[in-house]
Chain A
């Protein structure tokens, strides 16, 4: 199990389990990590999300890639970003993906609602030193639709897909010019809420904080 808790990262995967995850990632370019957030941590984050402000956010030129609601920076996001930059987690990510050295993780909390016309079209997320994508399910209750799909750039065949509805579950996927991914439209009343972002080759985490680009800035 690999699990983020408020205090420590639990990582008790055996070498054979890590090898199995690596083989899965090598063949499908993605892995599913159940209960990646501990129950206590998930509860705390969900409480913060209930009280948080969200703003509309579009992706791509003229907003053609996607539209969502993004959580305004707050201490819950700052905590998630800090936890995701745990050096042991980064070592684990490299061991199961074989990716280049990771400098930092940067991400956001966002949600897609079926009643708000939110969408996410095929895109690669390449650029700005991104290596591995991560999406952690923070939704309260199961949602309909909202399926993550991954395929080759030059084929319509979906290589890997998942409706990531397990509370606190994570999906890690490869970022490459040869791959594109999307999240299908959410249907029904329940929103799909996720902590999502990228493990990047650079900058290093302290530089990211100093640049002010992460969830909160470095105070001293």
Chain B
């Protein structure tokens, strides 16, 4: 469950009852991820929106996704 709060947002893990805070960029990434695209799709949108080069972004994006997975907030789906 996610709620936006003035630019930032709070994710709630309904299994553990633990909240996770996301800054504005994290909120945007989470929103794009929940729209069902691949991480690559998310990266493409972010590169356009934030005017950054893919190599500068992909490491951070993968790390963010890894942290979400580590907390059980998302998982890696098999290719369609």
A residues at B contact (CB < 8 Å): 6, 73-79, 82-83, 85-87, 204-206, 209-210, 214-220
Q: Do B19 and A75 have beta carbons less than 8 Å apart?
A: no
Contact A219 to B5, CB < 8 A, known contacts A205-B10, A206-B10:
no
CB pair B17–A209 under 8 Å, yes or no, is no
Kindly identify which residue among A6, A214, A217 contacts B1, using a CB–CB cutoff of 8 Å.
Answer: A6
Complex CA distance for A74 and B16, rounded to whole angstroms: 8
Complex Cα distance, B8 from A205, in Å, reads: 11
Pair A220/B14 contact, Cβ less than 8 Å? no
Instruction: Give the total number of A-B pairs whose CB atoms are below 8 A apart.
Output: 65
Which secondary structure dominates where chain B touches chain A? Answer: strand
Please determine whether B12 and A85 come into contact, CB atoms closer than 8 angstroms.
no
Interface status of B18 (Cβ within 8 A of chain A): yes
Q: Judge whether B71 and A85 touch: CB under 8 Å.
A: no
- Minimum CB–CB distance for A91 against chain B, Å: 12
Q: Which 7 A-B pairs have the closest CB atoms?
A: A75-B17, A78-B17, A219-B18, A216-B17, A219-B20, A220-B20, A218-B19
